Structure 1
Amino acid sequence: MASGIMPDELYGTVRVNDAVIEIIEVLEEQPWGARSCPPHTHAWFECNYIYEGSMKTGFGGPLLNVGPGEFFLVPAGAEHRHEYLPESPHRGVCLRWTVAPAEPTAGGGAGSVYAALERLREWQLGCYEDRYGLGERILRLFEEAREADSLASVQLTFVQILLTIAAVRHPEGRVTPAGADQSDTAFLRKIEVYLNDERAEKMNVRRLADALHVSYNHLARKYKRLTGKTIVGRLTEIRLARALDLLRRTDASIGAIAEVSGFGAAHYFSRVFKDVYGVSPKTYRKGLNVEAQKEPETVSVFSAE
């Protein structure tokens, strides 16, 4: 290949009118022997288009077959899982992106790109036959990438694909039974996935609320009603468990453990640790090799909000 842009180079930020689109990934997808992908959520949008073979995907309900010329879209925060079929391995393309307003007050009236792409958060989860020329547009994206010298022009083609999807008001296809992905069980599972994500050591519960498309107050009230505990307390419990494991297995400094486990400042970590376990992290570590030293009891750190 002479000049051109490879698919894994199609990332970056592009502004179109009142929207800022972060292109995360354009991936030529093949399972490569994998049999499944367990339930998970993520903070970006994802669109999967199948060209050959087949796979199964689900959104909290029964798995749906996805075959050639079909696609599915996963809004940010929606739980989903996949199964791959060795007897009919699929080949397709996966697009991943996020969208934000160009200005704090952007995203309003007619012609708003941000408003159009934000509506994809309400996309009806399911598997859809491509009646919109989506597959052709994706192939054109790859063709343009191979021939283009300008990354910006290819990124704009990517945005045109997103707007094509956003223009579909009432897609026709096989959908997940109404409300399955919004069940209380799925709601709690999404929260656990986010809170236990080791990459999210600095997670803010208000960002979690944004990812689940609910207000923080609604998230806090519903979580307390379903579990009897607070979501802030649950996050603290997860962070403490991570810190205990690091204290046992590593000789990392208290400051480093505080940072990695999500507490940030060492003095804050030490205070929370001592409030729950009765000893400081430093004292606890010293006592690990003393036979008489008992392991701290598992104490609930939940409290009313």
Structure 2
Amino acid sequence: MRTRRTAPNADEPATYTWQPAPGELAVAAMRLGHGADVNGAHEAHAHDFPGLAYFAEPGGVVRTGKQVRHVEAGDLFVIAPGDVMGRTHSDDLLDAHGWGVFFTADALGPDTPGAHLAWRTHPLLFPFVHGRAVDALRLRVPEQQRGEWTARVEALHDELRHRREGYREAVSAHLVLLLVAVSRLAADVVGDLRENAEPLLAEVFDVIERRYPEPLSLREVAAAVRISPGHLTSTVRRRTGRTVQEWITERRMVQARRLLAVTDLPIGDIGRQVGFPDPGYFARTFGKVHGTSPTRWRGSNQLNGR
């Protein structure tokens, strides 16, 4: 799992962005417990992608925001993009027995809305919409379901590890089943979130969704939602861990990846369709985000059937 670290201000936690390698499926499953890759150097941080931390047995602690939560049997932490995780200590998970699952919206298939919009419109992603407004959502898996949860995550991990023929479809199926289970556990909480949804973020994402194929700046988004650029910047960063411009770029990259994977359009034409009139600037931006050129990304992903 390769990530890029950004730290906009010295007094704010860093944000990590997932950078999949060419052809990589953006889903990861890892053990949380003795022997996990955790040491005292792990800082307070946030991710701009969602995750789950599930513990079938008690033991260890999870640091979310400024809280230290002692893990109980059946604990499930729903980690939204932008949720701040506290600085990890070397012995936090020494006695824990759990799994972490991380993914991007793209992993749910080519028909998933743009990543930033998906958290509000995809029924399986709504438990992740709260962002930095609250700490990571804590749910409890009933005792009679814990064996099934463990088996499902282990099967997901096995598919990702061995990559047998058809593993992409198998991983997607296991992930969807996990998210269905999360949604059922979170039904009451999700209802509250729907009633108290972030109206400003909804407006911002709607503007981006409608206008990302054309030139679009922070000032133009701010004018469309009728607040100052400075206020918009601070609010969106606090709630999601990203700037408005980063969300615009993310939406454009989601569409660019789709066009690269399923069409034979020239690279320059794809760039123009996603808001980059200059082909060179499109290629540089794509390379900065993905660590490879649009041409190489297309070759890897078309060969893999995406």
TM interval, shorter chain, is 0.3 to 0.5
Higher helix share: 2
Which one has the bigger strand percentage? 1
